[in-house]
Structures are given as C-alpha cells and as structure tokens.
C-alpha cells in the first residue's frame, strides 16, 4: 500500500494575484486509477502539469515516490512519470515506431541507439495498444483515435509506474473512447500502473476509475472513491447541472439534463432515482 | 561515454598540432627564390598593367592577361587568365610565368598570396594616383630588367603632362563637376585621382572636401556647387554619342546651373580617360579640352559636344 | 514489427556515402579550366615551381578547393539540420539567427579599416567574419532568452531584428566605401570557394569534424525536441541544455564555414530536406548523411561554377541557388498539401 503520489497543501496561480488551486492535499496509492474532473477553468490540466513537474507550485509540495518533484532530473522523472496529452501530428513525419521509441530516450546511451531490451519493450507496447500494424506508417496518415493509441503506446513504453493523461478521449468516437479506457484499465490491472486521468466524462470515470477528484471552480475539491463522491447533488454543486441518475446493477450512471433536453419535461423539479429493471 | 570525449579531444589536439606545424612551415618558407631580373614569361592581371608592359616593349614576353585587356589591340590575342575581378589561379599556373604583375585590389590580393605561397614571383602594385603610377612603372621596370625604358616612359608621360599643364594655363579657374553615376547621383570628390586631373589642368572641383571619395550628392548641393563644367564618365562601351544626348536631356532639368546654361556638358570614355596607365596624357588632354573649350580643337574622338 | 535504426546499419550507410564522396572529390579535382592528366600528376612536384604544372594545379590549387568545398558543404548542411530541429521549422537555414549579418559586418569593417595583417595564415577578413558571426549569434540568443525564455518564436524574432539592424549598418558602411571596397564586400558576401593554406584547412577540418561529432551525440534528443518543449521534457530530455549545446555547435561550425567561404546559400536549406525525403526524419541518420551529401553537393556546384563560364568564374552561390530554387518550390508544393506543417 505504497503512496506513490502525495500532494500537500498545494497552492498555484499563473499570476501573482490570483490562485487557481488552494491548499489541495491528497494521496494516490500505487496501482489505483484516479480520475480528475471538474468544470472548465477549474485547474485540471494545471494540476496535471504540476504533477509532472512542468509547473512549480507557489506553496505546498508534490512528492512522487517520496521525493519532491523538483528533485528529479528530467531523465529520472521521465522514468517515473509518463504523460499523455492531446494527440497531434509532429512537424517532421516520424513513423509510429519512431514515435513510440522516443519513450526510451531516458534509457539510451551516448549515441542514442536502442538496445535489445528497448526494442522489446517498444514492440510490447505496440502490441498492447494494437498499433503494431501501423509501425512503419507516418503519424500523419493515421486517424485521431489511432494516433491517440500511439501516444498511449509511447507512454507504456516508458515503463513508468505512473501514467498521467490529459483528456485522452476528448475528440474520439465511442468505440475509441471505450477502447482507450479498456487499455488503461488493462495496464492498471496487469502491470500495476498508477493512472491519473483528467476527463470530462463522468460516466467513464464512474465505470473505470477507482477514485475521483472533483475540482470546483472556486477552489474547493472533493476526493474519494467514485461511488462515494459521485452523487447528483455533488455533481450539481460542482458542475451546476442537474442530472438524471440511473442504475445498472450496482453501478450508477448520470445523464445531464439541459433546459430543452427531451427528458426534462418528465422530471419536473428535483433529480429523480429510477431503478433499471 | 568517456571514450567519445577522448576521441573529440584527440581530434581537436590534432587540429591544433597540425595548425602549428603547417603554420610554422609557412612562416619559414622563404617564399619564391630571388628572381632573375629578366623574366621571360610575364602574366598581367589588370588592363592598365598590360598597357604598361606593352609600353615598355615587353609584348612578346606577355603570356597571360585578364579578360578586359583591350589596349593595345595585340593584347586581346593573348591567353586569358580570368577576369580583372577574379583571376583564375589555374590558368596563371598553366601559363608558367616567371613574373606575375598584379594590383593590390580585393581578389587580386588573395590570388597573389596563393601564387606567392606556391613559389611564384609576384609583384603587387598600388596605382591610385599619378605619383603612384610613376612608382609602379619604375618597379615594373626594375623587375623586368627594363629600367631604362621605364625611366624613358616616365619622362615621356610627365613631359606630356607638363605640356598640357602649361597649354591649359589657368585664365579662368572653372568649377568642374565630375559625375561618375547619375542614378543615384555620385560625383568624384577631392580625394581621387580624377581630382588630380582637374587640378593639373587648372580647374577646381565644384564639390568641397568630403569624407567619401565618391560621394552621392543631393539636388541642393548640386545647385549650390555652381559647376561650370560637367564631365560624365560613360557607362560601358555603348555609343558615346547617344549617352551624350541622354546626358544633356538629364541635366536640362537644372537649367540654372552655369554648366547647363553654357551647355558645357561632356561625356567621356572612362576606359581611355580613367585608366591610370601609359595613355594618361591622352586622357588628360581630353579632359583639358572639356575644361577649356576655347583653346581646344574640335575633335571627333571620344569627347563629343553637340551644340 | 517495428524497424529500428541500428548502429551497424548506420555505419554501413555512412561508409558507402563517404566512399562516394571521396570518388566525387577526386573526379572534381581532375576537372577545371585547364586540362591536366592524371599520369602527370603522379610524377610529383618538380624541383622548382612551375616544373610539373599538372601536379601543382591538381594538388595545390584544386585539391585544397575541393576539400574546402566539402568542409563548408558539410558544415552548412549539418547546421541546417540542427536549426530546423531546434526551431521546429523546416524553412530554417543556418543564417537565420544572425550569422549572415554578423559575419558581413565583420567583413566590411575589416575591408574599410584596411587591416591587412594576417593572423597565422588566416586572412583578417575570415577572422573578423568568424568573430562577427559568433558575437551576433550570442546577441540573438541573449535577446531571445531575455524576451521569451528561448522559445522558438522569440529566437526567430530576435534573429530578424538583429539581422535588420546589422544590415542597416552594413548598408551605411557600404555607402561610404570606395568602389573597389564595395565590390570586395559584395564579392565576399556572395560566397566563394578559393584555395586556402593547408594550415587553415587543417584547423577548420578539425573544428568542423569535432563539431559534427558533438552534434551527433545530441541527435536522438533532437528527434524528441522536434515534438515541442512540453512533450520533450515529459520524455526526459533536458530541453534547455540540449538546445544550447546543439545551437552553440551549429553556430560554431557555421561561423567557421562563413569565415572561410562567405555566405553560400541554399545548401543549409535544401540538403536537409532532400535527405529527409529520401531517408526519413530520424536525426541520428539525417545528420551524418546530410553532412556527406552536403559536402558532395557543394563540391560539384563549385566545379560547375569554375568551368561553366571560363575564363571567368561564377560565385558558387549562383549554382546552389539555381539548383536549390526549383527544388525548394517543389518542396513547398509538397508541404502545402500536408496540413500538419501549416498548423
């Protein structure tokens, strides 16, 4: 039950005056899947950037594997934490294999040639994400979903205990959304990776993640097991949206209700619980 | 990781060592062996130098000239070794010269250095005034074993210059504006050999002292200088007559200038007039005719004037 | 299955290319305005200068030129590769960050002031060009760092500003120069390969080769750098340090090339592109192959420049531009169809 990420009293703001994150403290235990959700501008991506060392907190500390983030060199930190952001096509037309191999950079020698171990790890990552078939294709020739899988393959190839993802499925179709979360869950269960994913989809978070951190716009936050934290009241408080809650066996799902949404008329006033047969 | 840094260090040390070795070798190199004073094969890298060599009677010894050596006509038949601005080292070597005569200008300097290093005899001259021309002729004379003829040539030229000087004695002191370029307007200042011609013939440069040798001037200055004679060096070899007409049209804009009023505008062939060489007196005479039109005989030659 | 670039594979490719380069260099040294025979060359130098002109022309005029062209071509091509990676811009060339105007300023100051002492065999113009280039590059780096923490855009902008400023000074100085000084300056700026002394060649070769080796060690990190600063940091690359090392080396070898031969354009721009098209964007391969192919390209271009309008010579920059221009247009057409580059 090793704590791999420990955040204490984190304060951060981009300018001297304002503060986006106030006094945030939480722990992530190794091998857990944490979702970070909240309204736009609450600071989710900022929190992620703080966790991977790209930003420095104004106050408070962040520890990865018991050492402060600042104490790691870029090389060592990359061996502990792998980050997956929005997919993009690089300026030069690298192939999928070349892109995934870049994850091995912290492990390479002076001239940067991959050893047999490196090659094996890259191949495994390609297999795991089902992108081996694209290995020799240029990134620009793939679809967005395929590219996102390549970026995740790269993160897996880094062989790091922690995976940070920033909205990995935002622009993907349903099949890919589910596919990627399945992939992440497999990585967590089979390889014991700790996963922290920023997401807008609370249902996917509910389905796949063990814990969820809800960041409110005014700086307050709630963290805990998804089944405890996610409730229609909590969601309305943080997101300002009423939801219809349904149950599928033991699991809950939430459907947001807009003013003109078709269901709105049927559920006048308060949120409603309906049992699913 | 370490072995590669060692390799790097070794390479840099080799470079340094090689530099020192070759550098000192270079310094120790006594240069070309002392020259025989009678070279049989001479290469000239400038048209003016070619003319001087011909004037010293060395025509059959010349084995290479640059592209624009057009005077005397015999020069055009000699083997070409590149251009005045960019001499061809290979061609010079192929001509097997005993002596290479060059000007101390830009690219010629570096070619001269190369040839020197390879062991060839090089004479570098600076000819930017009449005085320097005489010095150059003397040096060439000494280097080619024709000192006597060189002295004669110098006497000849200075004699002619003195004659011209006295012929065009200063009754008036005309203010002369020598235009070398019309767009933008650039003139010869007081620090040029052109100015020497003007003063030799009893004239005065319309432009006062300037820091630049060939300053561009504006209309204000142009009108204020009150030039009584305007001389323009022709661009290239195109029809002088046509250029003369164009010049008169160009200058008619400033009808208030004395030179324009009296139509004292002349276009001269820069190849003849501005080449500091044995034909200097002819050039000076042409300029003299421009400055003192009353003492001149109408000539059909390079300077024309159309009333 | 993924294919990886192995050191063995790279060594083979580099050796083949090097072999081709040596053959090209020898062939080009045999070509020139004067016809020489190879047999006579092997007779060796005579007792006194002028005895065996074939040997002299081959070994002491042409070979140094060919070697110089190879060195300059290699330096410019490598520099182009590195700058395109650092600035993430396929249109970058080695002169983009101030080297051209800095060197030019050094040159015109030397010519105007008439300094003529030669420093251990290196001409004063070359030395001042070198100094001018490095000082300007440092200035651009400092300004870029000052205004935007060395982000690619701020570096580019600093380069543009400094170039404009120095070009203005050059223009002013040119306006007050004598005509032959002006021609000398312009001639130098156009870029020319001339025969240099052995000592100068030796030192330059050592420095350029050393620079290219250092750049090679940074290549695998350049791959990552090409993805952007954030991504690169996340993949374990010390972005600031890699940038400085790569940039300083590239600037250094470019400054040497410029001090030897003036501003030869297009080599640093098109060779990286051509090699990338043929061999892919992996910098571990791109750099050494660009160096060799850049060397061969400039040797051939210089040979053409030497013979095509004999007895005159064209500046080699004319040939590189004529070859480079159409190629560049083709590249532009190809890239404009690739949406990614226009982002």
pLDDT band at A266 (very low <50, low <70, confident <90, very high): low
Map out the domains of chain A with their CATH numbers. 3-93+160-238 (3.40.50.300), 241-277 (no CATH)
Q: Which residues of C touch A105 (CB under 8 A)?
A: 220-221, 224, 235-237
Nearest to B175 by CA among B80, B260, B259: B259
- Three state DSSP letters for chain B: CHHHHHHHHHHHHHHHHHHHHHHHHHHHCCCCCCCCCCCCCEEECCHHHHHHHHHCCCHHHEEEECCCCCCCHHHHHCCECECCCCECHHHHHHCCCCEEEEECCHHHHHHHHHHHHCCCCEEEECCCCHHHHHHHHHHHHHHHCCHHHHHHHHHHHHHHHHHHHHHCCCCCCCEEEEEEECCCCEECCCCCHHHHHHHHCCCEECCCCCCCCCCECCHHHHHHCCCCEEEEECCCCCCHHHHHHHHHHHHHHHCCCHHHHCCCEEEECHHHHCCCCCCHHHHHHHHHHHHCHHHCCCCCCCCECCC
Task: Please answer yes or no on whether C235 and A102 come within 8 Å at the CB atom.
Answer: yes
- On whether both B121 and B201 belong to a single domain, the answer is no
Whether B193 and chain C come into contact, CB under 8 Å, resolves to no
Evaluate whether B111 touches C83 at the Cβ level (below 8 Å): no
Residue C246: its pLDDT value, please? 93
- On whether both B155 and B216 belong to a single domain, the answer is no
Task: Please answer yes or no on whether A114 and C4 come within 8 Å at the CB atom.
Answer: yes
The pLDDT of residue C50 is above 70: no
Nearest to A106 by CA among C236, B56, C110: C236
Residue B4 lies in a domain: no
Chains that touch A (3 or more CB pairs under 8 A): B, C
Q: Which residue of B has its CA nearest to C314?
A: B86
Q: Which residues of B touch C33 (CB under 8 A)?
A: 88, 90-91
Say how far apart CA C59 and CA B288 lie, in whole Å: 53
Of the partner residues A93, A103, A122, the one whose CB lies closest to the CB of residue C281: A93
- On whether both B195 and B142 belong to a single domain, the answer is no
Residue B304 lies in a domain: no
Task: Please answer yes or no on whether B90 and C61 come within 8 Å at the CB atom.
Answer: yes
Last residue of a domain, one of B135, B160, B185: B160
Residues 46-105 on A with a CB inside 8 Å of C are 52-54, 73-79, 81-83, 85, 89-98, 100-103, 105
Task: Please answer yes or no on whether C34 and B106 come within 8 Å at the CB atom.
Answer: no
pLDDT band at C46 (very low <50, low <70, confident <90, very high): low
Cis peptide before B72 (omega within 30 of 0): yes
Which of C5, C92, C221, C234 to mutate to probe the A interface, most A CBs <10 Å?
Answer: C234
Express each pLDDT in B244-257 by its tens digit. Answer: 888 888 888 888 88
Q: How far C50 CA sits from the closest chain B CA (Å)?
A: 6
Say how far apart CA A148 and CA A171 lie, in whole Å: 10
Evaluate whether C104 touches C263 at the Cβ level (below 8 Å): yes
Nearest to A267 by CA among A250, A249, A255: A255
Residue A38: its pLDDT value, please? 92
Residue C189: its pLDDT value, please? 80
Chains that touch C (3 or more CB pairs under 8 A): A, B
Q: Which residue of B has its CA nearest to A111?
A: B1
- Determine the straight-line distance between the first and last CA of chain A, rounded to whole angstroms: 38
Last residue of a domain, one of B160, B195, B212: B160
pLDDT band at B3 (very low <50, low <70, confident <90, very high): low
- Three state DSSP letters for C3-30: CCCCHHHHHHHHHHHHHHHHHHHHHHHC
Of the partner residues B23, B33, B110, the one whose CB lies closest to the CB of residue C194: B110
Using alpha carbons only, how large is chain B's radius of gyration in Å?
A: 24
Using alpha carbons only, how large is chain C's radius of gyration in Å?
A: 21
Say how far apart CA A203 and CA A106 lie, in whole Å: 36
Reported as type and span, the H/E element at residue C159 is: helix C152-175
Nearest to B259 by CA among B203, B192, B214: B203
- On whether both B135 and B217 belong to a single domain, the answer is no
Residue B150 lies in a domain: yes
Evaluate whether B91 touches C34 at the Cβ level (below 8 Å): yes
Express each pLDDT in A42-67 by its tens digit. Answer: 889 999 999 999 999 999 999 999 89
Q: HSE, CB side, 13 Å, CA atoms: give it for residue B189.
A: 16
What is the share, in percent, of chain C residues with pLDDT greater than 90?
34
Of residues B245 and C75, the one with the higher pLDDT is: C75
Q: Which residues of A touch C246 (CB under 8 A)?
A: none
- Other Cβ atoms within 10 Å of B262 Cβ, number: 11
- Three state DSSP letters for chain A: CCEEEEEEEEEECCCCCCCCEEEEEEEEECCCEEEEECCCCCCHHHHHHHHCCCCCCCEEEEEECCEEHHHCCHHHHHHHEEEECCCCCCCCCCEHHHHHHHHHHHHCCCCCCCCHHHHHHHHHHHHHCCCHHHCCCEHHHCCHHHHHHHHHHHHHHCCCCEEEEECCCCCCCHHHHHHHHHHHHHHHHHHCCEEEEECCCHHHHHHHCCEEEEECCCCCEEEEEHHHHCCHHHHHHHHCCEEEEEEECCEEEEEEECCCCCCHHHCCCCCCEECCC
Q: Which residue of B has its CA nearest to A109?
A: B1
Q: Which residues of A touch B1 (CB under 8 A)?
A: 109-110
Q: Which residue of A has its CA nearest to B4?
A: A110
Task: Please answer yes or no on whether B4 and A110 come within 8 Å at the CB atom.
Answer: yes
Residue B226 lies in a domain: yes
Q: What pTM, to 2 d.p., does this model score?
A: 0.84
What is the DSSP pairing of strand A162-166 with strand B265-268?
unpaired
Going from the C-alpha of C47 to that of each of B43, C39, C53, the distances in angstroms are: 22, 18, 12
Express each pLDDT in C120-147 by its tens digit. Answer: 556 778 888 888 998 998 898 888 887 7
Whether C335 and chain A come into contact, CB under 8 Å, resolves to no
DSSP annotation of C46:
-
- On whether both B188 and B150 belong to a single domain, the answer is no
Q: Which residues of C touch A97 (CB under 8 A)?
A: 2-4
Last residue of a domain, one of B115, B141, B160: B160
- What SS3 state is found at C135? helix
Q: How far C254 CA sits from the closest chain B CA (Å)?
A: 17
- On whether both B88 and B120 belong to a single domain, the answer is yes
Which domain covers residue B106, as residue numbers?
42-160
Whether B76 and chain C come into contact, CB under 8 Å, resolves to no
Tell me the average pLDDT of chain A.
88
Map out the domains of chain C with their CATH numbers. 23-336 (1.10.3470.10)
The pLDDT of residue C286 is above 90: yes
Task: Please answer yes or no on whether B86 and C49 come within 8 Å at the CB atom.
Answer: no
Q: How far A63 CA sits from the closest chain C CA (Å)?
A: 17
Of the partner residues A105, A113, A119, the one whose CB lies closest to the CB of residue C224: A105
Residue B307 lies in a domain: no
Express each pLDDT in C146-185 by its tens digit. Answer: 776 657 788 888 888 999 999 999 888 888 777 777 877 8
> Between chain A and chain C, how many beta carbons pairs sit less than 8 Å apart?
110
Burial of A105 (0-12, 13-18, 19+ CB in 10 A): buried
Residue A145: its pLDDT value, please? 85
Whether C308 and chain A come into contact, CB under 8 Å, resolves to no
Interface predicted TM-score (ipTM) of this complex, two decimals: 0.84
Q: Residue B188: which CATH number?
A: 3.40.50.1980
- On whether both B184 and B223 belong to a single domain, the answer is yes
Tell me the average pLDDT of chain B.
80
Q: Which residue of A has its CA nearest to C228?
A: A90
Which of B81, B93, B192 to mutate to probe the C interface, most C CBs <10 Å?
Answer: B93
- Determine the straight-line distance between the first and last CA of chain C, rounded to whole angstroms: 31
Which of A92, A119, A158, A160 to mutate to probe the C interface, most C CBs <10 Å?
Answer: A92
Residue B81 lies in a domain: yes
Sign of CA dihedral A131, A133, A135, A136: negative
- On whether both B282 and B200 belong to a single domain, the answer is yes
Residue B297: its pLDDT value, please? 45
The pLDDT of residue A277 is above 50: no
The pLDDT of residue B36 is above 90: no
Nearest to B74 by CA among B91, B88, B57: B57
Domain count, chain B: 2
Of the partner residues B23, B97, B107, the one whose CB lies closest to the CB of residue C187: B107
What is the share, in percent, of chain B residues with pLDDT greater than 90?
1
- On whether both B188 and B85 belong to a single domain, the answer is no
Please give the sequence-ordered ranges of beta strands (E in DSSP) within chain C, or none if there are none. none
Q: Which residues of C touch B107 (CB under 8 A)?
A: 184, 187
Burial of A99 (0-12, 13-18, 19+ CB in 10 A): buried
Which of B19, B104, B186 to mutate to probe the C interface, most C CBs <10 Å?
Answer: B19
Chains that touch B (3 or more CB pairs under 8 A): A, C
The pLDDT of residue A274 is above 60: no
Residues 98-137 on C with a CB inside 8 Å of B are 120-121, 123
Nearest to B198 by CA among B228, B241, B219: B228
Chain B residues within 8 angstroms (CB to CB) of chain A:
1, 4
Express each pLDDT in B111-157 by its tens digit. Answer: 888 888 888 888 888 888 888 889 999 998 888 888 888 899 899 98
Say how far apart CA B149 and CA B143 lie, in whole Å: 12
Q: Which residue of A has its CA nearest to C223?
A: A102
Q: Which residue of B has its CA nearest to A112?
A: B1
Residue B33 lies in a domain: no
Residue B276 lies in a domain: yes
Residue B263: its pLDDT value, please? 80
The pLDDT of residue B307 is above 50: no
Residue B131: its pLDDT value, please? 87
Task: Please answer yes or no on whether A113 and C7 come within 8 Å at the CB atom.
Answer: yes
Of the partner residues C49, C207, C310, the one whose CB lies closest to the CB of residue B118: C49
Residue C150: its pLDDT value, please? 54
Q: Which residue of C has its CA nearest to B181?
A: C179
Say how far apart CA C321 and CA B168 lie, in whole Å: 54
Say how far apart CA A121 and CA A156 lie, in whole Å: 9
- On whether both B144 and B228 belong to a single domain, the answer is no
Residues 114-173 on C with a CB inside 8 Å of A are none
- Other Cβ atoms within 10 Å of C71 Cβ, number: 26
Nearest to C61 by CA among A194, B169, B126, B92: B92
Express each pLDDT in B4-17 by its tens digit. Answer: 677 777 777 877 77
- On whether both B174 and B291 belong to a single domain, the answer is yes
- On whether both B278 and B185 belong to a single domain, the answer is yes
Say how far apart CA C231 and CA A89 lie, in whole Å: 12
Residue A208: its pLDDT value, please? 94
Q: Which residues of B touch A111 (CB under 8 A)?
A: 4
Residues 88-127 on A with a CB inside 8 Å of B are 109-111
Residue C20: its pLDDT value, please? 95
Of residues C57 and C45, the one with the higher pLDDT is: C57
């Amino acid at each position: 039950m090793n704590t791999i990420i420990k955040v204490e009293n984190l304060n951060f703001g981009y300018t001297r005056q304002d503060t986006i994150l106030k006094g945030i403290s939480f722990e992530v235990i190794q091998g857990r899947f944490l979702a970070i959700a909240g309204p736009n501008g609450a600071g989710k991506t900022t929190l992620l950037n703080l966790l991977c060392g790209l930003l420095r907190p104004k106050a408070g500390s962040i520890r990865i594997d018991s050492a402060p983030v600042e104490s790691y060199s870029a090389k060592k930190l990359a061996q502990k934490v792998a980050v997956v952001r929005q997919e993009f096509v690089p300026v030069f037309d690298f192939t999928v294999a070349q892109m995934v191999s870049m994850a091995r950079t912290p492990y390479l020698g002076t001239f940067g040639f991959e050893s047999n171990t490196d090659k094996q790890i890259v191949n495994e990552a390609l297999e795991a994400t089902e992108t081996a078939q694209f290995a020799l294709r240029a990134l620009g020739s793939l679809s967005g979903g395929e590219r996102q899988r390549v970026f995740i393959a790269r993160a897996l190839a880094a062989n790091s205990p922690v995976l940070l993802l920033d909205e990995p499925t935002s622009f993907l179709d349903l099949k890919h959304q589910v596919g990627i979360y399945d992939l992440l869950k497999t990585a967590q269960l089979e390889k014991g990776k700790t996963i922290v994913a920023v997401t807008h989809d609370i249902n996917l978070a509910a389905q796949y993640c063990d814990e969820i951190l809800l960041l409110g716009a005014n700086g307050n936050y709630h963290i805990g097991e998804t089944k405890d934290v996610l409730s229609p009241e909590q969601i309305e408080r943080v997101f300002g949206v009423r939801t219809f809650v349904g149950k599928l066996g033991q699991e809950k799902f939430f459907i947001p209700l807009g003013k003109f949404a078709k269901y709105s008329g049927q559920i006048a006033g308060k949120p409603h619980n309906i049992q699913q047969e | 990781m370490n072995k590669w840094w060692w390799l790097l260090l070794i390479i840099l040390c080799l470079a340094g060592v090689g530099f020192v070795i070759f550098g000192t070798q270079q310094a120790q190199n006594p240069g070309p062996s002392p020259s025989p004073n009678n070279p049989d094969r001479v290469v000239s890298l400038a048209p003016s130098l070619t003319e001087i060599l011909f004037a010293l009677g060395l025509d059959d010894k010349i084995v290479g000239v640059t592209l624009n050596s057009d005077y005397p006509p015999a020069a055009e038949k000699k083997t070409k070794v590149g251009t005045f601005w960019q001499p061809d080292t290979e061609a010079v070597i192929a001509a097997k010269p005993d002596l290479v005569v060059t000007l101390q200008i830009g690219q010629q300097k570096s070619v001269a250095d190369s040839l020197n290093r390879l062991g060839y005899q090089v004479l570098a001259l600076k000819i930017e005034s009449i005085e320097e021309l005489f010095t150059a002729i003397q040096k060439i004379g000494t280097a080619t074993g024709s000192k006597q003829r060189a002295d004669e040539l110098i006497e000849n030229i200075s004699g002619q210059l003195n004659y011209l000087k006295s012929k065009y004695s200063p009754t008036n002191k005309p203010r002369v504006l020598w235009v070398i370029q019309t767009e933008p307007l650039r003139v010869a200042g007081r620090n040029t050999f052109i100015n020497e011609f003007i003063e030799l013939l009893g004239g005065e440069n319309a432009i006062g002292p300037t820091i630049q040798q060939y300053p561009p001037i504006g209309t204000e200055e142009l009108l204020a200088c009150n030039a009584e004679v305007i001389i323009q060096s022709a661009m290239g070899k195109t029809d002088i007559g046509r250029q003369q007409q164009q010049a008169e049209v160009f200058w008619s804009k400033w009808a208030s200038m004395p030179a324009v009023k009296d139509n004292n505008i002349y276009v001269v062939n820069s190849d003849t007039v501005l080449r500091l060489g044995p034909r200097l007196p002819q050039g000076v005479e042409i300029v003299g005719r421009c400055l003192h039109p009353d003492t001149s005989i109408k000539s059909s030659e390079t300077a024309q004037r159309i009333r | 299955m993924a294919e990886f670039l192995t050191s063995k594979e790279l060594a083979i490719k580099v050796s083949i290319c090097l072999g081709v380069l040596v053959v090209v260099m020898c062939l080009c040294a045999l070509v020139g305005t004067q016809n020489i025979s190879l047999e006579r060359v092997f007779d060796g130098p005579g007792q006194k200068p002028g005895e065996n002109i074939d040997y002299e022309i081959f070994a002491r005029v042409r070979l140094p030129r060919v070697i110089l062209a190879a060195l300059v071509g290699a330096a410019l091509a490598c520099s182009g590769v590195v700058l395109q990676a650092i600035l993430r811009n396929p249109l970058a060339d080695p002169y983009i960050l101030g080297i051209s105007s800095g060197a030019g300023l050094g040159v015109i100051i030397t010519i105007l002031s008439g300094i003529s002492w030669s420093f251990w065999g290196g001409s004063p113009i070359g030395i001042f060009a070198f100094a001018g280039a490095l000082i300007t590059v440092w200035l651009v780096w400092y300004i870029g760092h000052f205004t935007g923490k060395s982000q690619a855009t701020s570096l580019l902008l600093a380069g543009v500003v400094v170039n404009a400023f120095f070009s203005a000074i050059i223009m002013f100085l040119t306006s007050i120069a004598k005509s032959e000084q002006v021609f000398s300056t312009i001639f130098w700026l156009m870029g020319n390969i001339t025969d240099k002394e052995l000592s100068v060649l030796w030192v330059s070769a050592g420095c350029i080769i050393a620079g290219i080796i250092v750049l090679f060690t940074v290549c695998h990190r350049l791959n990552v750098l090409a993805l952007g600063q954030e991504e690169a940091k996340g993949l374990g690359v010390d972005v600031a340090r890699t940038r400085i090392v790569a940039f300083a080396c590239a600037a250094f070898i470019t400054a040497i090339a410029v001090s030897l031969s003036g501003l030869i354009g297009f080599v640093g721009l098109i060779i990286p592109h051509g090699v990338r098209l043929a061999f892919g964007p992996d910098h571990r391969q791109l750099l050494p192959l660009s160096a060799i192919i850049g060397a061969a390209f400039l040797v051939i271009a210089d040979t053409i420049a030497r013979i095509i309008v004999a007895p005159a010579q064209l500046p080699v920059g004319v040939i590189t531009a004529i070859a480079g221009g159409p190629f560049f247009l083709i590249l532009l057409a190809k890239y404009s169809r690739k949406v990614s580059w226009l982002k």
